[in-house]
Structure 1
Amino acid sequence: MNTEQAEQMRSGQGFIAALDQSGGSSPKALKLYGVDEDAYSNEAEMFDQIHAMRARIVAAPAFTGDKVIGAILFEMTMDREFGGKPAAKYLWSEKRVVPFLKCDKGLEAEADGVQLMKPMGDLDGLLSRAAGLGVFGTKMRSVINAANPVGIAANVAQQFEIGRQILGHGLMPILEPEVTITISDKAEAEAILRDEILKNLDAMPEGSEVMLKLSLPTVANFYAPLIAHPKVMRVVALSGGYARDEANALLAANHGMIASFSRALSEGLSAQQSDEEFNATIAAAIDGIYQASIT
């Protein structure tokens, strides 16, 4: 594991940009960016469009490790280039942004109030390839839709099990058991989740670490015990459907938690903007999320 990158993730001031929308969420992301579905006729063209959007974001002058300490890439982005260099190498060598890879393959149908991750196929092969391309860590998402102790325990156990496999490749796993922000028993689900994560952290070998990506909690600083835990490198927050201003306000109230926003980062960006307008818009977005992350 790159020690300079590890130090930046552990104590760097800033946030992680989530540039990892996949096939299911790409059309929506493109539409918000001003690219309608008639602008592409198949999946390959759709991914060309989304790659162009991501390339424009990472090329922006404000997109550097001074405020954006890491970025999560989709597999097809990892396999492409930014600025004539392999994407992960460009992020670190040109921007000092630590590269991560989204490694999950989507969600199973709901059972016991949660959606576990689908089987990931040849995950070892993907992890080896990612390490060879200069990726520092990974991210994988599962979902919690109810305060169901059985489901939440299974969800967290799966995250940690695959996290151990990722650690075996010398990569840093970001475990993301996302609590849906609109559920009526969100606070109760978060209490069960926190206990399950603490139980699994305590069972990890001494000296090992993971990162966590969690929904912004109902009660401010609820995840403080996780942030302080010696086996947690960093706790990051997903925007989860909140508009950027609301997500920033909630994040600022959670000390030590930093952002890992996707849609909230690209909010307001448009394919129709001039480079000057685009760069000014992304700079303002980065600054706002940065300010909320350093509280």
Structure 2
Amino acid sequence: MSSQREAMQEKVVNGKGFIAALDQSGGSTPKALRDYGIEESRYSNDAEMFDLMHAMRTRIIKSPAFTGDKVLGAILFEMTMDRQIDGRDTAEYLWNERGVVPFLKVDKGLEETANGVQLMKPIPGLDELLARAVAKGVYGTKMRSVIHEANPDGIAAIVEQQFEIGAQIAAAGLVPILEPEVSIKSPTKQEAEVLLREHIQKQAEQLSADTPIMLKLTIPTEAGYYSPLVAEPHVQRVVALSGGYSREEACALLKQNPGVIASFSRALVEGVSDRQTDDEFNATLASAIDAIYEASVD
């Protein structure tokens, strides 16, 4: 392992802070831009839309509060990884200028709901993408699927798919963040979490000793329910998604789950706006980072 990867691993495993999710992709970009104050009338095609999105992400990453002191890592969209900040690859800039570990979102979206869940769509060209990520100094990946109901067959299929592709990612030299999200709107959320923890534990026990993973999970209904996963030897870190909760709600719930840290997306950028001056933007983002950091440290 290179000295850079060793330093990244040390930060991920033992650092205090949270992982920022800056990985909105094509389908969610228009809403993310609207929330930021940029209406669709401001751009006329996808290229212009993604330019505006990259400008927003660049503004976040270059903000004085966005450093490795409180932000351990950042999850990037593929197009963000392939772009630059101040003439340097985004992943390299994150690590060398901000002290933030870069991760890459690799999934291509969700299948239609079946057996109460949405599996991931196939990921064509994954090996090539992973090789590019390694070459750019990325530490790990993230991929999301969604559980809507406590369906035993569906949840078993979701976990199996996550671990199967996770093994492919680990073999390429990256640490996979497995994200089987349980919808906070699910009428059987707690029952789904029981099944999910059971299947994750079974799959993790079958991993070879030298295969690390991370988990990104919905904050559980029962406080501390994922503590056994935090302690699982293969698991470098358990992180929580905000899942539709406001930042205040998500932080309050997260505090009830020692050992689990945040990996918020929308809740991180709640309140920031394209119309803000840099001072206003930086102050709003700093307040969000402080709140999420405090909820993430034991």
TM-score (norm 1): 0.99
Match of 1:49 in 2: 52
Partner residue of 2:252 out of 231, 249, 252: 249
CA positional deviation for 1:84: 2.0
Q: Please list, as runs of the form range in 1=range in 2, the aligned pairs for 1:240-279 lying within 5 A after superposition.
A: 240-279=243-282
* Deviating more after overlay: 205-214 vs 10-19: 205-214
CA positional deviation for 1:207: 2.8
CA positional deviation for 1:93: 0.3
Match of 1:104 in 2: 107
Match of 1:119 in 2: 122
User: Could you say what secondary structure the match of 2:176 adopts?
Assistant: strand
Match of 2:167 in 1: 164
Match of 1:137 in 2: 140
2:218 aligned with 1:215: yes
CA distance in 2, matches of 1:75, 1:159: 19
Count of residue pairs the alignment pairs up: 295
CA distance in 2, matches of 1:64, 1:83: 16
Identity over aligned residues, as a percent? Answer: 63
Stretches of 4+ moved more than 4 A in 1? none
User: Could you say what secondary structure the match of 1:117 adopts?
Assistant: coil
Q: Please list, as runs of the form range in 1=range in 2, the aligned pairs for 1:127-206 lying within 5 A after superposition.
A: 127-206=130-209
User: Could you say what secondary structure the match of 1:247 adopts?
Assistant: helix
Residues 106-137 of structure 1 show CA distances to partners (whole Å, capped at 9, x for unaligned) of 00111111100001001000000010011000
CA distance in 1, matches of 2:174, 2:185: 33
CA distance in 2, matches of 1:76, 1:47: 8
2:239 aligned with 1:233: no
Aligned residue type for 1:112: N
User: Could you say what secondary structure the match of 1:56 adopts?
Assistant: helix
Match of 1:62 in 2: 65
CA distance in 1, matches of 2:122, 2:274: 35
Aligned residue type for 2:198: D
CA positional deviation for 1:209: 1.3
Partner residue of 1:13 out of 16, 20, 38: 16
Aligned residue type for 1:52: A
* Deviating more after overlay: 81-90 vs 157-166: 81-90
CA distance in 2, matches of 1:70, 1:82: 17
CA positional deviation for 1:16: 0.2
CA distance in 2, matches of 1:130, 1:223: 30
CA distance in 1, matches of 2:112, 2:106: 19
CA distance in 1, matches of 2:24, 2:86: 20
2:83 aligned with 1:91: no
Match of 1:22 in 2: 25
Residues 23-48 of structure 1 show CA distances to partners (whole Å, capped at 9, x for unaligned) of 11111110010000100011111101
Residues 222-264 of structure 1 show CA distances to partners (whole Å, capped at 9, x for unaligned) of 0000001111000000000000000000001110000000000
CA distance in 2, matches of 1:15, 1:112: 33
Aligned residue type for 1:144: I
Gaps of 5+ in 1: none
User: Could you say what secondary structure the match of 1:63 adopts?
Assistant: coil
CA distance in 2, matches of 1:82, 1:258: 27
Match of 2:81 in 1: 78
- Aligned-pair Cα RMSD in Å: 0.6
Aligned residue type for 1:178: E
